[in-house]
Amino acid sequence: MARKVFERYGRPLAYYVDRHSIFKFNLGSACIHYTRRISEEEGKIQFKRVLSSLDISVLYAQDAKSKGKIEKGFDYFQRRLPFECERYQVKTVKEAMKILSDLVDFYNVKRVHMETEEIPIERWKRAEKDKRSKLRPLPSDSDLDAIFSLHFPRTIYNDGTIKFQGKSYKLNQRPGRKVIVAFQPGRKLMALYNDEKIWQYHFEGYR
């Protein structure tokens, strides 16, 4: 989702998030979002790494009141979506996603915000026209596939291979070299050295 937003609108200066474990390192957790299980001071979660690589800061909400505005939006969707799904007798996730998309469109494009008394899209357009937007374009040389992957450190064995999830992959690189495996589940593996892609492998059925 973050990648689609950045590609469509650009990079924000910062992400304002709660203190969920996706966004904050919790020692001892086995969550897949972590690069590896290491000491807390060294801990680097995947999402924060993505933001850092794109020069985006992370700001943590200290309590529920700090993120009240965004919570109001979530509350609206959480109340409306079940009602609409029941109304239209939705039976599949695909059907529910269509309704959610329509609700988001209504919320942003037609609904007058209770606090600002403006339609969000009109407020957004005015900010862009007045050059008050802080969004920045993505760097032209960004490898988004590599950035928006799960990263895991590996060392190349003497036979030029690395191991990942119980399987060996031939890289034909110098033994002992430390690389980063960039993993896109169900799509592909990449090996990065000094932030440069030196190898990739597409899983069967994906090109």
Q: Is the pLDDT of residue 40 over 70?
A: no
User: Region 147-165: what's the mean pLDDT?
Assistant: 92
Assess contact for 83 and 69: CB atoms under 8 A: no
Q: Of the ranges 25-39, 51-65, 132-146, 176-190, which one carries the lowest mean pLDDT score?
A: 25-39
User: Which pLDDT score, from 0 to 100, does residue 205 have?
Assistant: 61
For residue 102 the two structure tokens come to 């329509």
- Quickly list DSSP for 6-68: HHHH-B-SEEEE---TTTS--TT---TTBS----GGG--BHHHHHHHHTT-EEEE--SGGGGH
Share of the chain above pLDDT 90, in %: 55
Beta carbons within 8 Å of 175's beta carbon, 6+ residues apart: 156, 157, 158, 159, 160
Q: Which two tokens stand for residue 185?
A: 């589940």
Which residues sit opposite 192 in a β-bridge? 180, 197
**In this predicted model, which residue has the larger pLDDT, 168 or 28?**
168
Q: Inform me whether the pLDDT recorded for 163 exceeds 60.
A: yes
> pLDDT digits over 112-129, tens only?
988 889 999 999 999 989
Q: What are the distances in angstroms from CA 134 to CA 2, 8, 10, 188, 197?
A: 16, 14, 9, 33, 30
Percent of the chain's residues with pLDDT above 70: 83
Question: Exposed, middle or buried by CB within 10 Å (0-12, 13-18, 19+), for 162?
Answer: buried
Distance CA 50, CA 151 (A): 10
pLDDT tens, position by position, 192-205: 999 899 999 998 76
Domain boundaries, the chain: 2-64, 65-111, 144-202
- Paired with 170 in beta bridges are 161
In this prediction, residue 37 carries a pLDDT of 45
Structure confidence at residue 16 (pLDDT): 82
* Span 86-104, average pLDDT: 95
In this predicted structure, what is the pLDDT of residue 23?
52
